[in-house]
């Protein structure tokens, strides 16, 4: 099993539109072979000292996949190519962190 944290920096003011398109695609992703978890999240402002300020123009995607092969297939799935075309004007930068459980 692997984890993926995708940090998506958006053009200011476009987060609601991005999240709407993202959520419309979630059922397609969850139906993919090897997808265990796939959900968008936004920063929650808290009083926890170690947490930075909430980022208004960022969506973090928390993912869990069976293996890197499933993740690689996801990245080129037709519904993902279509999704990226729909949101390309909203996205400034994407960073992925692929992790494995520490044993």
DSSP string, 70-87: HHHHHHT-HHHHHHHHHH
Per-residue pLDDT tens listing for the chain (103 residues): 999 999 999 999 999 999 999 999 999 999 999 999 999 999 999 999 999 999 999 999 999 999 999 999 999 999 999 999 999 999 999 999 999 999 9
Rg of the chain (C-alpha set): 14
Class of the CATH domain delimited by 2-45+52-99:
alpha beta
Provide the residue ranges of all domains of the chain, joining segments of one domain with +. 2-45+52-99
- HSE-up of 33 (CA within 13 Å, CB side)? 6
Q: What is the pTM of this model?
A: 0.94
């Amino acid at each position: 099993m692997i984890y993926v944290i995708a940090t998506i920096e958006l053009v200011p003011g476009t987060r609601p539109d991005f999240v709407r398109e993202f959520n419309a695609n979630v059922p397609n992703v969850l139906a993919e072979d090897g997808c265990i978890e796939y959900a968008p999240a936004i920063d929650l402002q808290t009083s926890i000292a170690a947490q930075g300020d909430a980022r208004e123009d960022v969506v973090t995607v928390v993912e869990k996949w069976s293996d890197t092969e499933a993740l690689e297939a996801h990245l080129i799935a037709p519904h993902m190519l279509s999704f990226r075309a729909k949101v390309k004007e909203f996205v400034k930068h994407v960073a992925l962190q692929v992790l494995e459980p520490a044993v």
